[in-house]
A = this chain, B = another copy of it.
Amino acid sequence: MGDAPHTPPRRAATRSDVARAAGVSTAVVSYVINGGPRGVAPATAARVRAAIETLDYRPNLAARALRTGTTEMIGLVVPDSSNPFYAEYAVAVERRAAVHGHALVVANSGDDPDRESRLVEGLAGRRLSGVLLATTGRPAGRDLTTYDVPMVLLDRDGPVPGFAALGPAFTAGAAAVVGHLVDRHGLSSVALCTGRRGPFGANSPEQGWREALDRRGLDGSTVVRAPFDRAGGYAAGRELLTGTLPDAVFAASDLLAVGVLRALHEGGLRVPEDIAVVSFDGTSESEYSWPTLTVARQPVAEMAGAAVDALLAGMPAGAYRAFDTDLVIRRSCGCPT
């Protein structure tokens, strides 16, 4: 696209062009650009800056990367970055990475372990400063430890040997929304709608749902599982429609909830009058569904920031940090307003 009409610097200016123009050595140019490691006389620095300006010089980051061993970029590997949850995660990661002067490379694994490994390998080869990896419940792909690139695992339910990891307090968050349904609205049968694989151990939406019910002597028997997307939620909702209807459904993700909502609406049910729906995540889509969703909201920006910081600071392998969710009350649970 570099056309005739525009200023045509045949060849991009290099650092030695600048040095020549400013009448200094290349080292000095480096010192000026990087603010070190040695000082430069103010007058000299000014001349260098002027030369940079005139020549419209921009450092070649590829060369710097080769020299320093880091590209000042981090990678983010997620199952699907068009899932609003990951999309919002990605934006937050980019913002925080920018603070550290890093750019963001995003890759979608499609939730396929092989593809995921290939992606991580590719990113490692590109010499990124590190990669953030979300694996949707699967144990971390095989041998990810062999790619020598710093890594932190996202959206995990607990520590993972060999890796730094973080995630939301699934159980507590889920228990809070489900508890709200029972305590505040007097609902007693709450179905669970969740994925086929996601976390289901001690820290999981499933566990939180179960605990909230158990603690109140309620029965938690209706569970419907589906793929972790809108279509999956829709299918789950239709399935729900075929049995005896619960008072409410707790979806382990906004996407699932949105699908459930559509199925319920199509079935002629009113939400929350006929059946309440709440979910986990709290993406902005949950704020504009109909009715608006009461959710356990993950502190995405905070988690993303912590993940980036951990990656760049070298959070120790094996460490894990859980983040509390917020209970956001909207209309789908039956609360007024």
Contacts and interface: CB of A to CB of B under 8 A. Distances in A.
Interface residues of A, number: 71
A7 B62 contact: no
How many copies, total? 2
A127 B261 contact: no
A262 B292 contact: yes
A122 interface: yes
Interface stretch (A21-29, A102-110, A201-209, A212-220): A102-110
Contacts of A87: 81-82, 84, 87
A150 interface: yes
Nearest to A122: B103
Given A290-B262, A290-B290, A58 B125 contact: yes
Interface string A117-134: 000011111110000000
Interface in A45-72: 56, 58-63, 65-66, 69, 71
A287 B258 CA distance: 10
Contact of A56 (B80, B146, B259): B146
Contacts of A284: 82, 230
Given A1-B314, A5-B145, A6-B146, 14 more contacts: A1-B151, A6-B162, A58-B124, A61-B126, A62-B126, A66-B66, A71-B126, A82-B284, A84-B84, A94-B108, A95-B108, A103-B123, A262-B292, A285-B285
Ranked 7 nearest A-B pairs via Cβ: A62-B65, A82-B87, A87-B87, A290-B290, A6-B145, A61-B126, A1-B317
Interface of A: 1-3, 5-7, 9, 12, 56, 58-63, 65-66, 69, 71, 73, 80-82, 84, 87-88, 90-91, 94-95, 103-108, 121-127, 145-146, 148, 150-152, 161-164, 230, 234, 258-259, 261-262, 265, 284-285, 287-292, 314, 316-317
